[in-house]
């Protein structure tokens, strides 16, 4: 209790300062009655205030409170919608731009996303599926290995085509600017979701799209790209890939020297390192080396379905907050070929991948990276972007709570992005200069 008299005015006029009244035994019976009446009045006032606040909370903030204390609807479908209304999906990998390239020759005037659109994505279905954001994958095919040459030097169109993909994504975000919000930081994503918009980010799906140049990496960042997948299905100058159907023969044995320099620069500028499509050696080396958290933008669990594109348990164990671990989020891919044996891919099978990654790496390290519009087939029950609630309902049925589900749908990715943003800010504050590393096979520099 302060000794300087500051407490007195707070008690108000006519209310004895009990902290200072001293010897209470000497008060008269009248004094005592007055004192007790005063105390009673204060207590009732306080209780009334508490009651009114509680009542108001129940009436007006019931939504928020139930989310926190976990009194969700019993019906899993209703619970899923409830959770997604508060924590919408941020999908790590959607291939809409390559569909616009292949089906519409990059002519966005011919694209109407307000009506049912070819493929798995359009605005009505994004809304129905409670999508709050996604990475628009800006993808170009791996170059033909023969004409590219073994030094990866001849695929001159990869950067051009990537720029065209970026252009398509940006034009569509602009065309539907009521729906889509161009977002560059984790805080932008939260703000966009708060406004009811769909946060839109870019992801480059393969180191081959960098034209062997770290300068191109920086330029992509400036154009809004926030992750680069180190490889697609082909090896490139930076790293080895896992191929698609079978493991190709390693070329570098994981990351090349240039690949390590690329990760340094990605960490420095705040570009997320994406390890989907990489070989196991690339992934292990990259997660151990990266100063920033990493992602798998669209990969499932190999222990559940054994294909090279899925993440094995020994790599899942490198993920976490413990010693020798790195924070990461593995965003589960829905492609039936990666999910289950032919004919067996459905909502439950996808949920098995989520559950397994949660079991080995932890619930804070799993997310969703559907690969919609980049996959021909789809799981039964997860046919397009309107179906995410079915997966959330299935996991709710399996005992996932609102908090963990909010991490799965987007919270875990946001945490990883914030981590990468922090590392970049630290490295820039430390004055680390932009990398000038040159690919040693180039002869023009």
Ligand X SMILES: *[C@@H]1O[C@H](CO)[C@@H](O)[C@H](O)[C@H]1NC(C)=O
Chain residues binding ligand X by CB under 6 A are 107, 109-110, 147, 149, 153-154
Give least dist CB 443 to ligand X, A: 9
Which residues have C-beta within 8 Å of that of residue 235, sequence separation ≥ 6? 152, 241, 248, 251, 252
State both tokens at 117: 């659109």
Give the nearer residue to ligand X in terms of CB position, either 23 or 147.
147
Whole-angstrom CA distances from 19 to 15, 16, 35 are 11, 9, 13
Sign of dihedral through CA atoms 318, 322, 328, 334? Answer: positive
Instruction: Report helix angle 347-361 to 388-397, nearest 10.
Output: 60
**Using CA atoms in the order 331, 161, 159, 121, what is the torsion angle rounded to 10 degrees?**
-20
Give the nearer residue to ligand X in terms of CB position, either 150 or 341.
150
State both tokens at 35: 């004192």
Give the nearer residue to ligand X in terms of CB position, either 48 or 154.
154
For residues 413 and 396, is the Cβ–Cβ distance under 8 A? no
Give the nearer residue to ligand X in terms of CB position, either 107 or 187.
107
Give least dist CB 102 to ligand X, A: 15
Angle at 160 between CA 156 and CA 163, to 5 degrees: 150
For residues 295 and 328, is the Cβ–Cβ distance under 8 A? yes
Give the nearer residue to ligand X in terms of CB position, either 143 or 374.
143
Give least dist CB 353 to ligand X, A: 39
Q: Which of 264, 274, 371, 394 is catalytic?
A: 371
User: Is 353 in the active site?
Assistant: no
User: Is 305 in the active site?
Assistant: no
Residue 228, number of CB atoms within 10 A of its CB: 27
User: Is 252 in the active site?
Assistant: no
Give least dist CB 99 to ligand X, A: 15
User: Is 3 in the active site?
Assistant: no
Give least dist CB 109 to ligand X, A: 4
User: Is 298 in the active site?
Assistant: yes
Q: Which of 122, 205, 264, 404 is catalytic?
A: 205
Q: Which of 120, 208, 232, 252 is catalytic?
A: 232
Give the nearer residue to ligand X in terms of CB position, either 28 or 109.
109
**Using CA atoms in the order 337, 303, 308, 249, what is the torsion angle rounded to 10 degrees?**
-150
Give least dist CB 244 to ligand X, A: 23
Q: Which of 91, 95, 240, 394 is catalytic?
A: 95
For residues 203 and 226, is the Cβ–Cβ distance under 8 A? yes
Q: Which of 120, 235, 252, 277 is catalytic?
A: 277
Residues labelled catalytic: 93, 95, 205, 232, 277, 298, 371
């Amino acid at each position: 209790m302060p000794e300087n008299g500051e407490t007195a005015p707070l008690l108000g006029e006519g209310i004895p300062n009990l902290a200072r009244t001293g010897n209470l035994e000497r008060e008269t019976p009248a004094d005592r009655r007055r004192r007790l009446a005063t105390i009673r009045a204060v207590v009732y006032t306080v209780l009334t205030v508490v009651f009114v606040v509680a009542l108001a909370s129940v009436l007006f903030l019931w939504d928020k409170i139930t989310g926190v204390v976990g009194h969700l609807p019993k019906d899993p479908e209703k619970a899923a919608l409830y959770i997604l209304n508060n924590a919408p999906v941020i999908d790590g990998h959607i291939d809409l731009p390559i569909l616009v390239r292949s089906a519409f020759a990059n002519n966005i005037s011919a694209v109407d996303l307000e009506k049912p659109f070819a493929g798995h994505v359009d605005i009505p279905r994004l809304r129905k599926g409670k999508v709050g954001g996604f990475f628009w994958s800006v993808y170009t095919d791996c170059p033909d290995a023969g004409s590219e040459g073994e030094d990866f030097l001849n695929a001159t169109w990869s950067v051009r085509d990537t720029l065209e993909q970026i252009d398509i994504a940006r034009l569509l975000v602009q065309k539907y600017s009521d729906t889509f919000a161009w977002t560059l930081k984790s805080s932008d994503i939260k703000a966009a979701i708060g406004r009811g918009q769909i946060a839109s980010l870019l992801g480059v799906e393969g180191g081959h799209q960098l034209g062997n140049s770290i300068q191109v990496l920086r330029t992509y960042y400036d154009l809004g790209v926030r992750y680069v997948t180190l490889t697609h299905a082909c090896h490139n100058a930076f790293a080895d890939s896992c191929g698609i159907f079978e493991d190709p023969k390693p070329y570098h044995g994981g990351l090349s020297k240039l690949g390590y320099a690329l990760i340094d620069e990605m960490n420095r500028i705040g570009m997320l390192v994406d390890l989907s499509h990489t070989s196991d050696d690339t992934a292990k080396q990259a997660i151990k080396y990266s100063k920033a958290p990493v992602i798998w933008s669209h990969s499932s669990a190999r222990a559940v379905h054994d294909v090279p594109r899925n993440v094995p348990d020994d790599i899942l164990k490198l993920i976490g907050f413990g010693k020798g671990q790195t924070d990461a989020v593995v965003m589960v891919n829905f492609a039936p070929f990666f999910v289950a044996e032919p004919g067996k891919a459905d909502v439950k099978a996808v949920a098995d991948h989520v559950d397994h990654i949660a079991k080995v790496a932890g619930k804070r390290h799993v997310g969703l990276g559907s690969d919609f519009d980049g996959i021909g087939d789809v799981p039964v029950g997860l046919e397009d972007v309107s179906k995410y609630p079915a997966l959330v309902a299935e996991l709710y049925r399996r005992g996932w709570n609102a908090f963990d589900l909010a991490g799965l749908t987007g919270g875990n990715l946001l945490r990883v992005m914030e981590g990468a943003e922090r590392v970049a800010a630290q490295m820039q504050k430390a004055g680390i200069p932009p990398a000038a590393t040159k690919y040693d096979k180039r002869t023009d520099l």
